[in-house]
Amino acid sequence: MKKIAMLGVGYVGLVSGTGLADFGNEVICVDINAEKIRKLKQDVLPIYEPGLLELVRKNVAQGRLSFTTDLKHSIQNSEVIFLALPTPSGPKGEVDLSYVFNAVNTIARVINGFKVIVTKSTVAVGTGDKIRDHLLAQGVSEEMFDVVSNPEFLREGSAVGDFMRPDRVVIGSRSEKALEIMKEIYRSLYLIETPIVATDIHTAEMIKYASNAFLATKISFINEIANICEKVDADVQVVAKAMGLDGRISNKFLHAGPGFGGSCFPKDTLALTKIAEGVGLHATIVEAVIEVNRLQKLRVVDKLLALLPDLKDKVIGILGLAFKPNTDDVRDAPALTVIEEILARGGRIQAYDPEAMDEMRKHFPDIKYVASSYDVMKEADALIILTEWNEFRGMNIDYIKSLMKNPILIDTRNIFDPETIMEKGFRYDCIGRKIENRARITGEQKR
C-alpha cells in the first residue's frame, strides 16, 4: 500500500482520506487551517457525516491516518498527493482553481522525488493538462511526476458507504505507471469487483460533470412534471413510481421537492455551461435545469402566499435547513431562498434543523433558532417543511395543530398524506400531489 498526502480536509478530503486509510494506505491529511487540524486531533469533525467519526477514530488508532498543517513534510514523505481543495464558482460561474494552483506551486517548490499528483476535487476539463504544464514551467522535470484525475462521487449523508462501496472508480491518466499505482491504492475495491474505468484525463474530468448534470436534470425534470401534475389533477408520486419501474429510467432522483442544493449540483451544472461556452457551444438542457431549479425554490414562497397573502409580522416556522437529510450543508439549500423571500416580505422566521442550524446562522444570524421541531410550530402562522429528516415524519399532527396560531402547512417533501392532513383542519399544499380544492397559485410573480 502507498503513502498518501491528502491536501485539503474539507468534505471530500476528509471522507476520501479516511476511506483510503481504511483500505490499508498510510494517509496524512493536510490543511492550512490550524484550528481545524487541532479539532480533528481531538475527534471533532468539521462536517456532519454519519459513520465518519467512527471510521476516523479507527484508522487513527491503527496508525494509518494522521492530521497536520505541515504541507512540505507531507508532500516530501508521500508517494501520491491528492488535491481535495475547494473549487468554488468564480464571478461568472467558471471554476475557481486558485486553491488548486496554490498547492501545485508548493509541490513545485518542495518536490523531492517521483510523485503521482491526483485531482480529487471537481475541476474544469483540461485542468490536469494545466497542472502538468505549470509544473514543467516551474522547472520540475517530467520524470518527477504524473498527473491523474480521480473524481469523487460522494453523496452527502451517505458518503462513507459511497466511498467504501462505490458504483465505479474513475481513473484518468496518461501514464501506465501512474495507473498501476492508483490501482494498488484501490486494491481493496478490486476484491469486491468494483468497476474501474481507466481512461484519459480529459474524459475522467468530463465524467464527473456529465454525471452530476444528469442527476440534476432528473430532479428538475420531475419537479417540472410535479408542477404540471398540480394543474391537471394528477399525482407526481404515482407518476414517478411508474416511470421508475422502467429500467431505462430507474427510480433514483425522481422525488419532487423544493429544488436541489448542496456543494455539487448547483456549482457543477453552472460550470458545465461555462465549459460549453468556452468551446463555442450552449449547454441548452443544463441551462434549463438551472432555471427550473431556481424557479422551484421560489415556487415554495408562491405556495405560501397563496394561503397567507400578507406575511408582514407573520411567524413562519421552517422545519429543515440543510439541503438534504443527514448533512449540515446549507450551500444553495432551498431554505436560503425561502427565508430570504419571507424576510423581504416582512415575515418573521423561527427555524429548526437537527444538524444545520450553526451553518445557517452564518447566513441569517438574526432569525430565531429553536431547540426542537415542535418549538418551530409554537404560535406560527404557517409551517414549511424543507428537509425530510426522519424525525419529522412521525410528528403528531394534532399536536402540531394545537401549537400553531394558524394551521397552514406547506409540505415541500411530501412526507404527509394530504387527505389525512386536511381532515385535521389544515390548509395544506405540497409538491405535485392531488389535493381536492387545491388553492391554486394565481398571480405568480414573473421571475
The residue-averaged pLDDT of 112-120 equals 97
SS3 173: strand
CATH number of 294-430: 3.40.50.720
Burial class of 143 by CB neighbour count within 10 A (0 to 12, 13 to 18, 19+): exposed
Beta pairing class for 145-149 and 115-119: parallel
Write the pLDDT tens digit of every residue in 153-172.
999 999 999 999 999 999 99
Distance CA 304, CA 311 (A): 9
The residues spanned by each domain of the chain are 3-199, 294-430
DSSP-derived pairing of the beta strands 65-68 and 80-83 = unpaired
Q: Which helix (H) or strand (E) holds 430?
A: strand 427-430
Query: Residue 435 has what pLDDT?
Result: 85
Residue 1's pLDDT is 84
Spatial contact of 193 and 218, defined as CB atoms under 8 Å apart: no
User: Residue 441 pLDDT > 80, yes or no?
Assistant: no
- Per-residue pLDDT tens digits for 331-357: 999 999 999 999 999 999 999 999 999
Structural contact between residues 272 and 94, judged by C-beta atoms closer than 8 angstroms: no
Residue 445 has what pLDDT? 44
Q: What angle do CA 132, 73, 139 make, to 5 degrees?
A: 30
Asked if pLDDT for residue 249 goes beyond 80, the answer is yes
Domain 3-199 identical in fold to domain 294-430: yes
Give the neighbor-by-neighbor strand order of the sheet with 26-30: 65-68, 26-30, 3-7, 80-83, 115-119, 145-149, 169-173, 196-199
Find all residues with CB under 8 Å of 54, minimum gap 6, and list them: none
pLDDT at 321 over 70: yes
What lies within 8 Å, CB to CB, of 315 at 6+ separation is 347, 348, 349, 350, 379, 380, 381, 405
**Closest by alpha carbon to 18, among 31, 3, 28, 33?**
28
Task: Find where cell 482520506 sits.
Answer: 17
pLDDT band at 245 (very low <50, low <70, confident <90, very high): very high
pTM listed for this prediction = 0.92
The pLDDT score that the predictor gives to residue 53 is 97
Lowest-pLDDT range, 50-59, 132-141, 306-315, 438-447?
438-447
pLDDT of residue 200 exceeding 70, the answer is yes
Task: Compute the average pLDDT of residues 384-398.
Answer: 96
| Banded model confidence at residue 437, pLDDT cuts 50, 70, 90 | low
Q: Give the C-alpha separation, 130 to 210, whole Å.
A: 21
- Under the phi-then-psi rule, with left for phi > 0, alpha for psi from -120 to 50, and beta for the rest, what region is 437? left
**What confidence tier does 438 reach under pLDDT thresholds 50, 70, 90?**
low
264 as an active site residue: the answer is yes
Exposed / middle / buried, residue 375 (Cβ in 10 Å: 0-12, 13-18, 19+): middle
Average pLDDT, the chain: 95
Lowest-confidence pick of 344-358, 405-419, 430-444: 430-444
pLDDT digits (tens, 9 = 90+) for 73-83: 999 999 999 99
360 CB neighbour count, 10 Å cutoff: 22
- CB neighbours of residue 258 within 10 Å: 29
Instruction: Report the percent of the chain where pLDDT is more than 90.
Output: 95
- Note the CATH architecture for domain 3-199: 3-Layer(aba) Sandwich (3.40)
- Cα–Cα distance, 4 to 55 (Å, whole number): 17
